C-alpha cells in the first residue's frame, strides 16, 4: 500500500471538473485508489463520492493506492507532484493531449 499527500491549491477547491478528470485518470489503473479528506473518504473512481468530500482550497488530501500496479501509480503521482503544475492541472493537460490525438486520428480516418 502506498500513500501520498496533496494540498488543494485551486481557489475553487475540488469541483466537478477536476474531480471528473481524476476519475478518468484513475480508470486505467487496477489498484484501489481512495482519497481521504478531513470531510471523509471516497473511492477515486466515483465522481459523486469525490464531490461529497467538498474538498476546499488548503485542505490536505491523502491518496491511498493498494493493488497490483501500485508501483506504477506511485511513479505517476510522484511525477505529477514534482511538476510545476498542481496534480489536477497535470491530469487535465494529459486528458487534453489524449483528446487532441483522438481528434487527429478521427479526422484522418474520415479523409
List the catalytic residue out of 5, 15, 103, 104: 15
* CA dist., res. 90 & res. 80, Å (int): 6
Is residue 6 annotated as a catalytic residue, yes or no? Answer: no
Q: Show contacts of 90-98: CB within 8 Å, 24+ apart.
A: 91/18, 91/21, 91/22, 91/24, 91/25, 92/17, 92/18, 92/21, 94/25, 95/21, 95/24, 95/25
CA angle 55, 68, 20 (to 5 degrees): 30
**Given the C-alpha cell 491523502, which residue does it identify?**
62
Bridge partners of 34, per DSSP, are: 43, 64
Q: Which residues are catalytic?
A: 15
Amino acid at each position: 500500500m502506498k500513500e501520498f499527500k496533496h494540498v488543494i491549491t485551486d481557489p475553487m477547491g475540488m469541483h466537478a471538473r477536476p474531480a471528473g478528470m481524476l476519475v478518468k485518470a484513475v480508470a486505467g489503473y487496477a489498484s484501489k485508489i481512495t482519497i481521504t479528506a478531513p470531510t471523509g473518504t471516497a473511492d477515486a473512481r466515483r465522481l459523486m463520492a469525490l464531490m461529497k468530500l467538498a474538498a476546499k482550497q488548503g485542505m490536505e488530501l491523502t491518496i491511498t493506492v493498494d493493488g497490483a500496479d501500485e508501483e506504477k501509480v506511485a511513479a505517476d503521482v510522484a511525477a505529477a507532484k514534482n511538476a510545476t503544475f498542481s496534480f489536477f492541472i497535470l491530469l487535465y493537460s494529459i486528458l487534453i493531449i489524449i483528446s487532441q490525438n483522438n481528434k487527429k486520428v478521427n479526422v484522418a480516418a474520415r479523409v
